[in-house]
Amino acid sequence: MWFHGVDAEGDLTGRVIYAGFETQHPIGGIRLLTEHVSLLVAAGVDAYRWSPTPGFRYSWFADDVPTLSGVELDLGADDVLVVPEVAVLPDRDPAPRGRRVVFVQGHYLTFLTCPDVERYPGWDTPPALWAVSRDGVRVLARAVPDLPARLVPNPVDAGVFRPGVKVPSIAWMSRKRPSESALLKQILRNDPRSAGVELRDVRGLSHGEVARVLSDTSVFVALGAPEGEGFGLPVAEALASGCLVTGYGLGGGDELFEAPSAWPVANLRTVELADRALELVRLPDADRLRAAGRQWLVDRYNAEVTTKALLTAVEAARALPGEATRATHPAAWQDEIMRAMAPYTATMRTAEPGSVAF
């Protein structure tokens, strides 16, 4: 099968199969996994999302990619299985002797389910490793020096996330920092400069609802996860939506604060964060900066850039040794994964039904 629309060399056969979570709770990483499948299919690759439940589809974004179902799946020697980093356990190889990829969207979470593994991830043969940010590649190079990570930049749909008519408003996503979010809101609410400024928490909204809210939001505040961000997709979507952005880069998101419409603040400086957000609401020359920030984002994080990186990464994964095998979906050991994830989910307070389930 030839790849179309990219500078690919050679005829690469076989499927690329992403093991997916089954949840209707909006999580950007889940949507990104599905978007990878869509981009690969558009490029001529035989790609699928794999869910245990036949007919499973996400309801909170447009989901029409090819799917496979069942807890077990026969893989050919040329197939590549992609699994999320939080689904990796050292004694649970999902495709023994097959070609596997660990897709790392949150490099700070990579070893939560694999602590004290001498040679990550503890399988008989090594997988390929993909990361979504420059910081992710850099950190993993130190943590797993014998398993170099490839960068696959995240795409942002600039057609969905686009500016509308801005109103004085400050938005943020509280899911990963509920306590600091409450503190930030209280500081903003009690500042005289917030008169006439809408305060918006976009937690739990669908993909389309987030795009609608960000379109007329003037300032977006990046809170992120306390232990770090793999990338910070809400920040990228806010930049594409013409928001001025301030907040915490937290490692993976640092590269987004190179945009001309973004201003970083040191972690946990909540008062400084509130001050900067209120200043930006009425920043002179804001329209020029919004347009420059959107263009900066669109030039670097788009479907073409992601597709090209994906095809290169898939070709490298196919170059690894691999055999036909029977694969097991990580849902088969979901209880073990949830026990390993318990410290994280308790801290993040995201234990809503199905929020991190396969």
Higher pLDDT, 348 or 287: 287
Residues 209, 273: one domain? yes
User: Considering the domain boundaries, does residue 162 fall inside one?
Assistant: no
Average pLDDT for 315-335 = 96
User: Considering the domain boundaries, does residue 160 fall inside one?
Assistant: no
Residues 23, 147: one domain? yes
**Residue 289 maps to which CATH number?**
3.40.50.2000
* 12 has pLDDT over 70: no
Q: What is the pLDDT of residue 354?
A: 42
Residues 35, 147: one domain? yes
Region of 247 (left: φ > 0; alpha: ψ -120 to 50; beta: rest) is left
Residues 19, 148: one domain? yes
Residues 132, 107: one domain? yes
Residue showing tokens 């599905």: 34
Residue range of the domain that includes 81: 15-155+303-348
Interval 26-42: pLDDT, tens: 888 899 999 999 999 99
Interval 82-113: pLDDT, tens: 999 999 999 999 999 999 999 999 999 999 99
Interval 273-285: pLDDT, tens: 999 999 999 999 9
| pLDDT band at 7; cut points 50, 70, 90 | very low
Q: The whole model's pTM is what? A: 0.91
Interval 227-255: pLDDT, tens: 999 999 999 999 999 999 999 999 999 99
| pLDDT band at 143; cut points 50, 70, 90 | very high
Share of the chain above pLDDT 70, in %: 93
* 348 has pLDDT over 90: no
User: Considering the domain boundaries, does residue 230 fall inside one?
Assistant: yes
**Residue 317 maps to which CATH number?**
3.40.50
Residues 28, 135: one domain? yes
Residue showing tokens 């794999």: 50
Residues 232, 271: one domain? yes
User: Considering the domain boundaries, does residue 1 fall inside one?
Assistant: no
Strand (E) or helix (H) holding 316: helix 303-318
* 353 has pLDDT over 70: no
How many structural domains is the chain composed of?
2
Higher pLDDT, 159 or 115: 159
Interval 166-219: pLDDT, tens: 999 999 999 999 999 999 999 999 999 999 999 999 998 988 999 999 999 999
User: Where is the domain boundary, 269, 284, 300?
Assistant: 300
Residues 198, 88: one domain? no
Q: How far, in Å, CA of 46 to CA of 308, rounded?
A: 16
* 357 has pLDDT over 80: no
Residues 211, 176: one domain? yes
Q: How far, in Å, CA of 35 to CA of 22, rounded?
A: 15
Distance of CA 32 to the CA centre of its chain: 6
Contact by Cβ (8 Å): 104, 149: yes
For the chain, the average pLDDT equals 92
Q: What is the pLDDT of residue 355?
A: 43
Q: What is the pLDDT of residue 4?
A: 33
| pLDDT band at 118; cut points 50, 70, 90 | confident
User: Considering the domain boundaries, does residue 355 fall inside one?
Assistant: no
